[in-house]
Structure 1
Amino acid sequence: MKTTWLHIDPIDIFIPRGNRLFGGGVHGKVAMPPWPSLFSGALISRALADAGRLGDLDQPEKVEMVLEQVLGPNYGLAWLGLEAKGKTYLPLPADLIVVSETGTDKKRLCRIRPGPTNLSLYGIASSNLLGRPLVFEYLYRQKPISGFWMERKGWKDYLADLLPETDTLISDKELWQVDPRLGIALDRGSRTVAEGDIYTTDTLTLNKGVTFLVGFNSSSIPTEGLIRLGGDGRGAKITLADPSVTNELQEMGKPQGGWSGFRMILITPGLFPEGWIPPGVDPESFIWKINGLVAKCEAALVSRPEVISGWDLVRESPKPAFKMVPAGSVYWFSVVEGDTASLVSVWEKGLWEIGCNQEYKARQREGFGRVWFGAWNNKEV
């Protein structure tokens, strides 16, 4: 399936709302990076409108057939990040921590890595379910600094099991600004102002030269014009991305053969039937069997789950809310037998075809569950 790479530029403000309900005294916060479903939904709606097929979605059971006729059998969002001045950025993975050096403005990038199997030899007790507890590789106590994204060059080093340079980092303040807004709710019946319903919400404005970069698996997706994007149906312009930039992303995170250990990194939130445990991994032995590969999960770094929902345009009702493993979560595996080249199918399609039911799989097209793989030296030191 061909991947079409697009720039998506909000014309004015952008409101990527999270999952918090509005209510008395509640301030509407935005989710950044946005859910992939926000972009896939906008692009798919535009493709259906261009094909004159929106009226065919009158019954839920016909949706998948119509979408495949318009977009192809394996359509779906495959990549979501930011581009600024020819460089592409993604949020930091959970095992990379930024700290500031004492008394200076200099920043240092540190790693969290699996430690020795038996930490009791070092006087450390652990109730870890997996084989190897995680250790923060830093000698001094410094408070971590949040709000950083990493450029493609840094990700390339990271996936090769190297510590990236700090010059590959960029602060989110260099990418976008948060703009609080005051709003007044409308009465749906009369289309007039609803008395007493005043609210505040955050909006985002991308800095000059910054744009969303989206990779979508379909050759029939629109490549120019406008789409409705995010809260309030704000407009955004779509254009084809420069191949000189996107060609470097085609093979990012692709598993290589011959690894004795590897990391699996979620680049979009993942919907897992067993909570934090990836689909296909046995919840008792933590063994993963796939395409002839047998690997054991030795460690995992999983952030607090996020609840993701949405609006079903066909059924005119909210989509089921699911707890998802956040993007950036990392899993470390040691190979028991087989070859890591067997993981290519997971890299291509995401963690969906290994045991997820149809209710979960409905989120596949929206871009959830996308993963990258990186090398890991699993020898204990």
Structure 2
Amino acid sequence: MAEPSALLFVFEPLDTLFFRTGRPFNQDDPGAALAESLFPPNPPTLVGALRAALARLLGWSGQNDWPADVKAALGDGDRLAAGLRFQGPWLMRREPDGGWHRLYPAPASVVEMQVGTPAGRRFRRLQPSKTVLQTDLGPDPIRLPAPATDERDAAFCRRPNGLWLTADGLSAVLKGKVPGQAPPGAPRCWYDEAELWAVEQRVGIGRDNATRRVEDGHFYIASHIRPARGVALALQVSGLSAELRAKVEAHRGELGVVSLGGEHRAAWLSCVAPLRPVFERTADAARRVAIALTPVRATAAMLEPQASFAGHDGLKITMVSALRADIAGGWDSVGSRPMAQHPLLAPGTTWHITCDRDLRDEDLPRSLGGMTDWGYGELIWGHDASSGGT
């Protein structure tokens, strides 16, 4: 949902993109000589690129430290200016009408039957199992994820890799259903990752700039991302100063070519109209589903059965459908040193929540974890259609 006075900035790739993961990369180690690329990247990558572009609008030369007026408008290093807030990165797709539409990571609670039908793929929804188990996770019994139709279907279900939902597809999930197979000519409910981008392997060498000779052992392979035509990344920003907004408008929203990610890749940066709200308000209920739309800076309590959710004593975790956790790091360009690494829960991680009373949408937290003003931990809430108890 667009916040008042929010602006939406879109990064359209001009060629391949390369975003490093937190995995070690060492050319001398054959097992770590492949540099994987993460797509979409973690929030600080796009936030840094956008802040640098906005700093140039305020007169920064692109070298040396930011002037005091730039720091007042955008912050300094990992400290954002007061009131400044980013949401994203969002994966975007340009539709035939020319407008940008957001795509959403498929919730981890959506699984696929291994045997399809002539009409297309068959999806199922996971819910807390009817069987209660005692485990070493604590004294409280837990319920494992099980298919909503028949728990015996679990042997035939798998997680669909790289599934992205349209607003229609995610809306179905929020109502306790699954994405449908759209008939020919109708708006689609989902896209496969292979339809949105491709992975290209690039081979590189390390060269001594002084001698222009190849350095021993400096041979590496990097995985670049080539987005399909009409696929882009976006950040929504609120809290920009009136001066910055005026400068963006003076450029008619076209900020030009910016550096994005590693290996000096580039994208065209523009400011477009914010997205309109597309999801209906869910009915007040004591059973809810929370879905992470961007990476979440993880803590152990986020995965504990019966733990409070998002620090809210009235919200208890019944079940979590989690994807493989990742590690986020980074490079401190000012201090010339690596940044501390943090575990991340992947977008699509889904929590089944029991509330101590019927809660309205307005009463529910919209973000989870740390650095939410950078774009981490964006949540959306839906209806829990499961019938099992807690």
Residue 161 of structure 2 is aligned to residue 150 of structure 1: no
| 2:108 aligned partner, one-letter code | A
SS in 2 for 1:43: helix
Matches within 5 A, 1:67-216: 67-68=74-75, 73-79=82-88, 80-85=90-95, 86-101=100-115, 106-116=120-130, 119=131, 125=133, 127=135, 131-137=142-148, 139-140=152-153, 141-142=155-156, 144=158, 145-167=160-182, 168-187=189-208, 193-216=214-237
Residue 49 of structure 2 is aligned to residue 42 of structure 1: yes
Structure 1, unmatched stretches of 5+, are 353-360
Match of 1:321 in 2: 341
Matches within 5 A, 1:54-73: 55-57=64-66, 67-68=74-75, 73=82
Q: Post-superposition shift, 1:157?
A: 1.7
- Distance verdict in 2 for CA 1:57–1:295, change over 3 Å: same
> What CA distance in whole angstroms lies between the structure 2 residues aligned with 1:191 and 1:373?
56
Matches within 5 A, 1:286-301: 286-288=307-309, 294-301=314-321
| 8 A contact 1:294–1:338 mirrored in 2 | no
> What CA distance in whole angstroms lies between the structure 1 residues aligned with 2:129 and 2:239?
42
SS in 2 for 1:81: strand
Relative to the length of structure 2, the TM-score reads 0.78
Paired residue total: 350
| 8 A contact 1:100–1:106 mirrored in 2 | no
- Distance verdict in 2 for CA 1:300–1:4, change over 3 Å: same
| 8 A contact 1:213–1:241 mirrored in 2 | no
1:299-349: CA deviation from partner (whole Å, max 9, x where unpaired): 1122232110112233222211011222211111111147344545x31xx
Residue 19 of structure 2 is aligned to residue 16 of structure 1: yes
Match of 1:31 in 2: 38
SS in 2 for 1:94: coil
SS in 1 for 2:179: coil
Task: Compute the RMSD of aligned alpha carbons.
Answer: 3.3
Match of 1:226 in 2: 257
- Give the counterpart of 1:334 among 344, 354, 363: 354
Structure 2, unmatched stretches of 5+, are 183-188
Q: Post-superposition shift, 1:58?
A: 9.1
> What CA distance in whole angstroms lies between the structure 1 residues aligned with 2:173 and 2:16?
33
| Farther off after superposition, 129-138 or 43-52 | 129-138
| 1:110 aligned partner, one-letter code | R
| 8 A contact 1:11–1:237 mirrored in 2 | yes
Relative to the length of structure 1, the TM-score reads 0.79
> What CA distance in whole angstroms lies between the structure 2 residues aligned with 1:211 and 1:284?
37
- Give the counterpart of 1:271 among 292, 297, 300: 297
> What CA distance in whole angstroms lies between the structure 1 residues aligned with 2:56 and 2:387?
54
Residue 370 of structure 2 is aligned to residue 367 of structure 1: no
> What CA distance in whole angstroms lies between the structure 2 residues aligned with 1:318 and 1:290?
31
- Distance verdict in 2 for CA 1:337–1:142, change over 3 Å: closer
Instruction: Report sequence identity in percent.
Output: 18
Match of 1:355 in 2: none
